[in-house]
Amino acid sequence: MTASEEPADRPAAAVASAKRIVVKVGSSSLTTAEGGIDDLRLGGLVESLAAARTAGREIVLVSSGAIAAGLAPLGFKRRPRDLARQQAAASVGQGLLMHRYTDAFAPYGIRVGQVLLTADDVTRRGHYRNAYRTLAKLLELGAVPIVNENDTVATSEIRFGDNDRLAALVAHLVHADALILLSDVDGVYDRPPSRPDARRIPLVRSRADLAALEADPVALPGSAALGTGGVVTKVEAASIATSAGIVAVVARADQIAAVLAGDEVGTRFEPTGKRRPTRLLWLAHATRPEGQLVLDAGAVAAITGRGSSLLPAGVVAVRGNFVAGDPVDLVDSDGVVLARGLVNYDADEVPALLGRSTHDLAAELGDAYEGELVHRDDLVLIPG
């Protein structure tokens, strides 16, 4: 029997005892096939979340469904492919979705607050603190924050890509104890669930437990065409959470009460790492690099082995078109990505700095050029 086939040998105590929980629900679990909001399914989810909140647990809900909810009112028969119509649908649908949540939580005496994020909001210096303060204050006031990507303004360059990843990053941002990813499939299977020999993986302790995973990277079999995530995005999101010390569970939306109770349902991912600075986690997982800095052997050793800042003397080439403050990848001579960081100079300034010491640059060009290309506080290693 392999590790992935082992039964979960103890209660999911970490979930059952979790005080602060981030729950993500996908579009297909909230909407009808035509694109409207399914009040019965939404109401069932809210009932379980309200019970947990009333019991003293803090809930942050990351909810997809804005674009899907806006399709029917705008006369769209399917999710549009172009960004402009997606943004229009999100603009209409987000209000409808929040209205439904407000009405659904009201009988329990629970208020909700809308929080819309883009990746740019939380990767630029200091900006992520604004998001944290808002979420923390809503929780302090007893409200349920409802988070979504700000699809009405997000462009392809500043998108999280899917709400599974957004939920994992929010879980780290709010110092959550647990992350629950809900969809219309009851966990992670070793192969597409439509196959008769498919087995649910109850417990994941490490990547080795997923070595034999066969899955559609676009959408889980049986899921509606309204969603954008699938088993791969959920596994990646769970990995982000567990690497930061947060237990994660992938389950079916109607299993939420059982998951919150710590029952052995879905697929549980055990923590594999410890919490690290919030902004660096977002930098690693929620940014799109605008270019590359190619490092020599000495700089590679300094960055990966000594936690040093990146100085101009250790860079041999620059690629891409970026401006100061943009994320860039730091790569070795073979193009292997080693780290990502926020660069302190524009791309057109960097070539004149390469291979030169900061002392010489300051003497020739002034004190403004004495700084690092990427400071170590703005740099995160990317595991190979």
270 and 308 assigned to the same domain: no
Domain count, the chain: 2
CA distance 301 to 295: 10
233 and 365 assigned to the same domain: no
203 and 239 assigned to the same domain: yes
Tens-digit pLDDT profile for the chain (384 aa)? 343 444 444 445 788 999 999 999 988 888 776 667 889 999 999 999 999 999 999 999 999 888 888 888 888 888 888 888 888 888 898 999 999 999 999 999 999 999 988 766 665 656 778 888 999 999 999 999 999 887 656 554 434 557 888 899 899 889 999 999 998 889 998 888 888 888 889 999 888 888 777 654 333 333 333 334 478 888 889 988 998 899 999 999 999 999 999 999 999 999 888 777 777 777 888 778 899 999 999 999 999 998 888 988 889 999 999 999 889 999 999 999 999 999 988 999 888 888 776 666 655 655 555 578 898 888 988 876
64 and 213 assigned to the same domain: yes
Domain range for 153: 3-282
364 and 337 assigned to the same domain: yes
298 and 175 assigned to the same domain: no
Q: How far is CA 69 from the centre of its chain?
A: 22
The whole-number pLDDT of residue 361 equals 61
Q: How far apart are the first and last CA of the chain?
A: 29
116 and 245 assigned to the same domain: yes
Q: Give whole-number Cα distances, 188 to 193, 229, 338, 380, in Å.
A: 9, 13, 30, 29
- Structure tokens of 88? 């229009």
CA distance 330 to 119: 20
DSSP line for 93-141: HHHHHHHHHHHHHGGGT--EEEEEE-HHHHHSTTHHHHHHHHHHHHHHT
Residues 143, 247, 170, 267: what is their CA dihedral angle, to the nearest 10 degrees? -90
262 and 314 assigned to the same domain: no
CA distance 346 to 227: 38
* Domain-terminating residue out of 229, 251, 282: 282
Burial of 371 (0-12, 13-18, 19+ CB in 10 A): middle
* Domain-terminating residue out of 256, 282, 308: 282
H helices present in 124-202, as ranges: 127-140, 163-173
CA distance 269 to 14: 11
* 205-213: long-range pairs with CB below 8 Å, 24+: 205/3, 205/270, 205/272, 206/3, 206/272, 207/239, 208/3, 209/2, 209/3, 209/4, 210/4, 210/235, 211/4, 212/2, 212/4, 213/188
What CATH number should be reported for the domain holding residue 352?
A: 2.30.130.10
CA distance 312 to 78: 50
Look at residue 156 and give its three-state secondary structure.
Answer: helix
16 and 76 assigned to the same domain: yes
206 and 269 assigned to the same domain: yes
The whole-number pLDDT of residue 314 equals 87
The whole-number pLDDT of residue 227 equals 39
The whole-number pLDDT of residue 214 equals 66
State the angle between helix axes of 39-54 and 83-105 in degrees (0 to 180), rounded to the nearest 10.
50
The whole-number pLDDT of residue 152 equals 59
Q: Are 343 and 322 in contact (CB under 8 A)?
A: yes
The whole-number pLDDT of residue 211 equals 76
Q: Are 150 and 87 in contact (CB under 8 A)?
A: no
What CATH number should be reported for the domain holding residue 71?
A: 3.40.1160.10
Length of the chain: 384
The whole-number pLDDT of residue 209 equals 83
pTM for this prediction: 0.78
308 and 276 assigned to the same domain: no
Q: Tally Cβ neighbours within 10 Å of residue 367.
A: 9
209 and 111 assigned to the same domain: yes
Pairing of strands 203-204, 327-331: unpaired
Pairing of strands 337-342, 327-331: antiparallel
